[in-house]
Structures are given as C-alpha cells and as structure tokens.
C-alpha cells in the first residue's frame, strides 16, 4: 500500500525505521499495514527524517482535504 492509498481518517500509530536496518521483524509483526512512499527512478530510499516529513505532510494534507 502506498501513502496515497492510506485511509488518513483513521487513528494511526507510525513506526519509522532507519535507512540501514529498517524496522525490526519483531516490531513489524505488530504492525497492521506497511505503507510505502513512492520513489523516483534511481532513488532507493529516504533517510528517516525525510521519510517522516513526507509521510506526515501527506497525512495532514489528506485530513485537511477531507474536511472540505
């Protein structure tokens, strides 16, 4: 599932992994969904600060748009 497909009206618990190790398998087992940020060709990953900023902006924008 991508960030554009996420239902942002629901309560969310966000877990971000680092670029090297990601999220541990033990934590991933507890997660209901894995959300991807689509990347441009040639880009493999974002650092956790960039990924969280993109994700939080997307969630907030989606919630604002739904109020209108």
Map residue 20 onto helix, strand or coil.
coil
Question: Does residue 18 register a pLDDT over 90?
Answer: no
Q: Where are the domains of the chain?
A: 3-67
Phi then psi dihedrals of residue 57, to 5 deg: -60, -45
Question: Does residue 64 register a pLDDT over 80?
Answer: yes
- CA–CA distances in Å: residue 29 to residues 14, 46, 64: 14, 23, 31
Query: What's the rounded mean pLDDT across residues 13-18?
Result: 90
Q: Among positive and negative, which fits the CA dihedral 62, 63, 66, 68?
A: negative
What's the whole-model pTM score? 0.75
Picking from 33, 39, 36, 37, the residue whose alpha carbon sits closest to that of residue 12 is 33
Query: Model confidence over 32-58: pLDDT tens digits?
Result: 999 988 888 988 878 899 999 999 998
End-to-end CA distance of the chain: 25
């Amino acid at each position: 599932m991508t960030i554009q497909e996420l239902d942002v009206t629901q309560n969310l618990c966000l877990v971000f992994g680092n670029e090297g190790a990601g999220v541990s398998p033990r934590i991933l087992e507890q997660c209901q969904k894995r959300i991807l940020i689509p990347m441009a060709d040639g880009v493999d990953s974002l650092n956790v600060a960039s990924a969280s900023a993109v994700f939080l902006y997307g969630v907030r924008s989606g919630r604002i748009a739904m109020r209108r």
